[in-house]
């Protein structure tokens, strides 16, 4: 049975449409495989060298690997009239539109710059849009650039 996300009247952010960016299947699969590799290698290491320190470190690393393997399939960015939801590989964050100071529109390492209610400056990486230092041609990232432009325009 497949789980399908559905919009409900109380949802603050949509889960499909032009204001939602979901990474392609290849991105999800690569990150999921990396998570399983971290998990598997950590379990194998702890199995081989079972001592209190390796067990403690192993629990942390295996948990991070499992989290990465699972969350890579649900990572996305969505914005509504009031807020943006950034659901990344390790955590999710909702940012009120009025708190956003700017959006970096280059897909190499895009971020949202915003401030808290206390006035502290914060940076939220847009991991699902990030291409890092790549040798691939820029034309391959037109979808990311288009979404970043729409997000930047929306944020004001």
Exposed e or buried b per residue across 45-67, where buried means at least 16 C-beta atoms within 10 angstroms of its C-beta: ebeeeeeeebeeebeebbebbeb
Domain residue limits, the chain:
25-71, 75-155
122-129: average pLDDT: 92
Per DSSP, what are the bridge partners of residue 34? Answer: none
Band (1; pLDDT cuts 50, 70, 90)? very low
Percent of the chain with pLDDT over 70: 87
**DSSP secondary structure code for residue 73 in this structure:** T
pLDDT digits (tens, 9 = 90+) for 82-97: 999 999 998 899 999 9
108-123: average pLDDT: 93
45-54: average pLDDT: 87
What pLDDT shows up at residue 7?
A: 40
What pLDDT shows up at residue 18?
A: 81
What pLDDT shows up at residue 33?
A: 95
**Which residues have C-beta within 8 Å of that of residue 68, sequence separation ≥ 6?**
31, 32, 34, 35, 38, 89, 90
Question: Within 10 Å of residue 125's Cβ, how many Cβ atoms?
Answer: 15
Percent of the chain with pLDDT over 90: 56
DSSP string, 45-69: HHHHS-SHHHHHHHHHHHHHHHHHH
Of 2-16, 27-41, 132-146, least confident by mean pLDDT is 2-16
CA–CA separation, 4 vs 150, rounded Å?
26
């Amino acid at each position: 049975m497949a789980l399908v996300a559905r919009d409900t009247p109380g949802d603050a952010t949509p889960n499909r449409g032009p204001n939602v960016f979901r990474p392609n299947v290849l991105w999800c699969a690569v990150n999921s495989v990396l998570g399983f590799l971290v998990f598997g290698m950590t379990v194998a290491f702890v199995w081989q060298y079972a001592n209190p320190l390796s067990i403690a470190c192993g629990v942390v690393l295996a948990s991070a690997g499992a989290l990465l393997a699972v969350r890579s399939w649900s990572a996305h960015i969505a914005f509504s009239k009031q807020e943006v939801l950034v659901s990344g590989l390790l955590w999710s964050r909702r940012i009120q539109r009025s708190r956003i100071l700017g959006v970096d529109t280059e897909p190499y390492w895009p971020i949202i710059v915003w401030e808290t209610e206390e006035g502290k400056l914060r940076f939220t990486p847009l991991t699902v849009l990030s291409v890092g230092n790549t040798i691939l041609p820029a034309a391959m990232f037109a979808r990311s650039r288009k979404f970043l432009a729409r997000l930047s325009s929306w944020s004001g």
